[in-house]
Amino acid sequence: MKIQKITSTLVVATMLAGCATMTDTQKVVFGALGGAVAGGVIGHQVDHKNGRYVGAVLGALAGGAIAHYMTQQQQDLEKVLASSGITVTRVDKGTIKLNLPNDITFAVDKSRLNSNVYGSLTSIANIVNKYNKTAVHINGFTDSTGSASYNQGLSERRAKSVANYLASRGVVAGRLVTRGYGENYPIASNSTVHGKAQNRRAEIYIRAIQQGQEHIAYAPIY
C-alpha cells in the first residue's frame, strides 16, 4: 500500500511557542489559522517530536485519570448524538471513535459538508472543547468506485472539510490531524451498493493525551 499523505495542523502550535496565554482575540485567530491549515495550506508527517511538543502546550492527563475522563466524554457524546446517525464507539481506555456516514455528511462525490450535519458537528466541537486534553484525528474514506488516485484526493478533502468545521467552532488547531485513506480500510464489501455506502465515510478518533507519552496521541490510527 502506498504511503498515505498526512495533512496535520500540529505545526500551528509552534506559532504560539512563545505565548504563555492567549486572549480571546488570539483564540479566534488561532481557530481561523487552524481552518486554513486543515484546508491544506501546510502538510507534513506527524512524528514523536511534534506529538510531545503539542502535548506539552495543550496539557496532558495522568495515566490513572484517563479512563474516567474519556468515559465522561463518551457519555456526553452519546447524549448529544443519540438521534444523529453518528455512532459513538469506545475503542479502548483512551480512545473514542465517531463514525460519520457519507449519506448524512457529504453529497455523492463531493467534499463539501451537508448543512444538515452542521448541528452534530457543532455538538462534537463543543464537547471536544470541554474535554481538551485529547488529540482529534479526522480520517476520510471512499468506496472503490473510480481510480485510486481520485479516491485518495477525495478522502483527503473530506477529512479537511470536517476539520475546518471543527476549527471554525473553536477546536484548537494543534489538536487536529487529518488523513485521507481513499478506498483502503473498507468496513464492508464493495461488491454491493449497501457495502459501498458504508465504506464512504469520515471517522473522528478522539485520543487522550497522556503525560510522558504525548506522541502516542498523535500517531496514525491506521
pLDDT tens digits for range 149-205 = 999 999 999 999 999 999 999 999 999 999 999 999 999 999 999 999 999 999 999
**92: its cell numbers:** 479502548
| pTM for this model (two decimals) | 0.77
pLDDT tens digits for range 90-120 = 999 999 999 999 999 998 889 999 999 999 9
* CATH number listed for the domain at residues 6-15+31-217: 3.30.1330.60
Task: List the domain boundaries for the chain.
Answer: 6-15+31-217
In terms of Cα–Cα distance, which of 185, 108, 189, 188 is closest to 140? 185
